[in-house]
Amino acid sequence: MTAAAMSFDLGSLRRRIVAGELSAAALAQEVLARLAAAGDDKVWIARVGEDALRQRAAALDAAVARDPSLLARLPLFGVPFAVKDNIDVAGLPTTAGCPAFAYAPAATAPAVARLIEAGALLVGKTNLDQFATGLVGTRSPYGVPRNPFDPRYIPGGSSSGSAVAVAAGLVSFALGTDTAGSGRVPAAFNNVVGLKPTRGRISTSGVVPACRSLDCVSIFALTAADAAALLAVCGVYEEADPFSRRMPPDAGAPATPFRFAVPRAADLEFFGDSDAPALFEHAAAALEALGGTRIEADLTSFFAAAALLYGGPWVAERLAAVEELYGRAPEALLPVTREIIAAGARHSAVDAFKASYRLAALRRESEALWQRAELLLVPTAGTIYSLAEIEADPVGRNTRLGRYTNFVNFFDLAAVALPAGFRRDGLPFGVTCIAPAFSDRALCALGEAFQRRLDLRLGATAHRLPPADAAASAPDGRIAVAVAGAHLSGMPLNGRLVELGAHLLERARTAPAYRMFLLDGAPARPGLLREAAGGSAFEIELWAMSAAALGTLVAETAPPLSVGTVLLADGRAVKGFLCEAAAAARAKDISAFGGWREYLRRR
């Protein structure tokens, strides 16, 4: 296989794996070939050994050979991924970009563990700006990861290696972290998707803190649909993590039509980039074509909050994370990193309280925007800089890169960075969609539609978005799944669909070919059984979800229910919940009610 022959996006890989065309062992070998071809690209700090990678892949293949149903329970079977080297993985050192800080973690971070449990293949730990301090990708003693579009330009940071690994087609996805834009700026500079989820949506246990109260684990992927599917796997509440948060069961579906804000002309700054204004306008026009109504917004309060990040006492959180090393051996830090972190010692507790009051006031001012619009569209970065330009002004130009990112974590917002075109010199440009906390699913759904509208190449590869499954897909390319009982809107299990990134498509009816039975157990639920002849039609809901999320749902579905094919009244065939005949034989027939809601109303 070659990079030209195979895209690493989740949908393409899953289709080939399920069809039996691709094994985990073959994928591992392909990854090793691509790594060899990439050479010394400065992407990696530590890698899983070649033999260990092959053994893990072989073990996955052997497990599925013994139990083919296991494939449905492993939505990330064989999928290669990488992890930023400030996130713990047992068996690999954590350096946070500083050799003197390195340690051997006793446990794997929960976010990483969940991905591995879902069948993913860990390839290694990626390079970063030291202690996740920077947006440039050049502040590392391990070198500068090579920008796959032009090595004279910065890859963006701090999650530099993670973004480059995905863009270059070395892995399917990667985890990064985001405190001030570290999961978004590298996405823009490498033409990939960067999801900065709601704070606490993915556990930060096992992550070396930058500013612990603001840190997020982020996801780099080739598509927004992939990012949503990965969030469904690793975005799980962790009781032991005091910063973990539960996703509300009523988290809304994407609004259609929707209103989106753009910065007023006085707030738009591209720092002399002559191509960026037209590219940003093109992105805004694409959102309008998807049903959005554009308004202009005054972002004064947003930018004022952003200035607090490094100009205020929050920099003391960075010092708190490395206080022992800084006190013992400050020379172990790179000069620019040491200068930034040292500023934390200049702030008092009084400063911290005053700044927190100021931030609360700015956040309240900013909330007025969400009464006028569902989301905010901004450039991810106003421009990109060459390595030479950053070397000449490492702090000033880094600050410019955070103009549209620094306020997001402060204001507890979710964001997804999306590829939005290319400058005339071939370098990518990106935009970010921002919305209130727990809008992650809606942002990814819109991001997927946005990507299909622009139809750009994926990362630095020659591949484009895979085609939607026309036989049983939602308009945005996800799989349409029929639910008829406890997963319906407002019912006890509906929250799980929301957690998996699903959104409601429509209400419909089955073909008149089924019977409905009241099953034993809690919560109360029905089972649909296909009849060989005759039968009734029932009210159902269609929910759209990614292939990976559907795989997770299948794995969680216990007998007597299973996921199979459901026929609709209009002739479509979709995936949906069905009941085993043996269970139906001893259950109460409730077909006469015409649907689960009506049965609950009249019982």
Same domain, residue pair 432 and 483 = no
Is residue 14 in some structural domain? no
| Residues 409 and 489 both lie in one domain | no
Q: Read off the CATH number of the domain in which 496 is found.
A: 3.10.490.10
Whether residue 158 lies in the annotated active site: yes
Considering 12, 42, 84, 366, which one is annotated as catalytic? 84
The yes-or-no verdict on residue 499 having pLDDT over 90 is no
Co-location of 359 and 410 in the same domain:
yes
Indicate whether 345 and 438 sit together in one domain.
yes
Tell which of 408, 439, 454 closes a domain.
454
Strands 121-126 and 44-47, how do they pair? antiparallel
Do residues 202 and 347 share a domain?
yes
Residue written as token pair 């500079």: 189
Position 338 in a domain: yes
Indicate whether 468 belongs to any domain. no
* pLDDT on residue 469: 43
Q: Which has the minimum average pLDDT: 54-68, 425-439, 543-557? A: 543-557
Domain-located, residue 203: yes
Q: What pLDDT score does 1 carry?
A: 41
Which range of 185-199, 226-240, 516-530 scores highest in mean pLDDT? It is 185-199
Token pair for 393: 């002004």
Residue corresponding to tokens 């989106």: 260
358-417 per-position pLDDT tens digit: 999 999 999 999 999 999 999 999 999 999 999 999 999 999 999 999 999 999 999 999
Question: Which 8-state DSSP code applies to residue 248?
Answer: P
Given 419, 454, 489, which residue is the final one in a domain?
454
Task: Give the range of the structural domain holding residue 165, as residue numbers without chain letter.
Answer: 41-53+80-237+255-454
Residue 354 and residue 484 in one domain? no
Distance CA 107, CA 93 (A): 11
Residue pLDDT, tens place only, 27-63 = 999 999 999 999 999 999 999 999 999 999 999 999 9
Answer whether residue 201 shows pLDDT above 80. Answer: yes
Q: What is the pLDDT of residue 468?
A: 55
Residue 477: pLDDT over 60: no
| Residue 237 structure tokens | 């509440």
pLDDT in tens, 256-302: 689 999 999 999 999 999 999 999 999 999 999 999 999 999 999 99
Q: What is the mean pLDDT of the chain?
A: 91
> What is the model's pLDDT at position 2?
43
Mean pLDDT of 553-575: 82
Task: Decide which of 509 and 268 is more confident.
Answer: 268
- Answer whether the bond into residue 560 is a cis peptide, omega within 30°: yes
Catalytic residue (choose from 7, 23, 140, 158): 158
**Mean pLDDT confidence for 181-210:** 97
Query: Parallel, antiparallel, or unpaired for β 428-436 and 413-422?
Result: antiparallel
pLDDT tens digits, 513-525: 899 999 988 888 8
Answer for the pair 3, 461: CB distance below 8 angstroms, yes or no: yes
Where residue 564 falls among pLDDT bands split at 50, 70, 90?
confident
pLDDT for 3 equals 42
Number of domains present in the structure of the chain: 2
Residue at 9 is within a domain: no
Closest alpha carbon to 477 in 10, 3, 2, 8 = 10
Identify the H or E element spanning 328: helix 323-328
Same domain, 215 and 351: yes
Indicate if 596 and 508 belong to the same structural domain: yes
pTM for the predicted model, two decimal places: 0.81
Q: Which helix (H) or strand (E) holds 431?
A: strand 428-436
Same domain (yes/no): 323, 377: yes
pLDDT score for 473? 47
Contact present, 127 and 160 (Cβ < 8 Å): yes
Whole-angstrom distance, CA of residue 405 vs CA of residue 415: 9
Name the pLDDT band for 129 (thresholds 50, 70, 90). Answer: very high
Q: Among 65-74, 154-163, 247-256, 272-281, which stretch is predicted with the lowest mean pLDDT? A: 247-256
Domain CATH number, residue 262: 3.90.1300.10
Q: Does 356 reside within a domain?
A: yes
Assess whether the previous peptide bond of 158 is cis (omega < 30° from 0): yes
Give the active site residue among 12, 159, 172, 182. 182
Report yes or no on 246 lying in a domain: no
DSSP reduced 3-state for 536: strand
Maximum mean pLDDT: which of 167-181, 297-311, 312-326: 167-181
For residues 304 and 392, membership in a common domain is answered with yes
Percent of the chain with pLDDT over 90: 72
Same-domain status, 537 and 424: no
Question: Is 421 inside a domain boundary?
Answer: yes
pLDDT confidence of 475, banded at 50, 70, 90?
very low
Would you say 94 and 105 are in contact if contact means Cβ atoms under 8 Å apart? yes
C-alpha span between 136 and 140 (Å, rounded):
10
461 pLDDT exceeds 90?
yes
Please give the Cα distance from 351 to 312 (Å, whole number). 8
Q: Are residues 528 and 406 in the same domain?
A: no
Any idea of the CA torsion for 306, 312, 316, 321, to the nearest 10 degrees? 0
> Structure tokens of 336?
């620019």
- Asked whether residue 472 carries a pLDDT value surpassing 70, the answer given is no
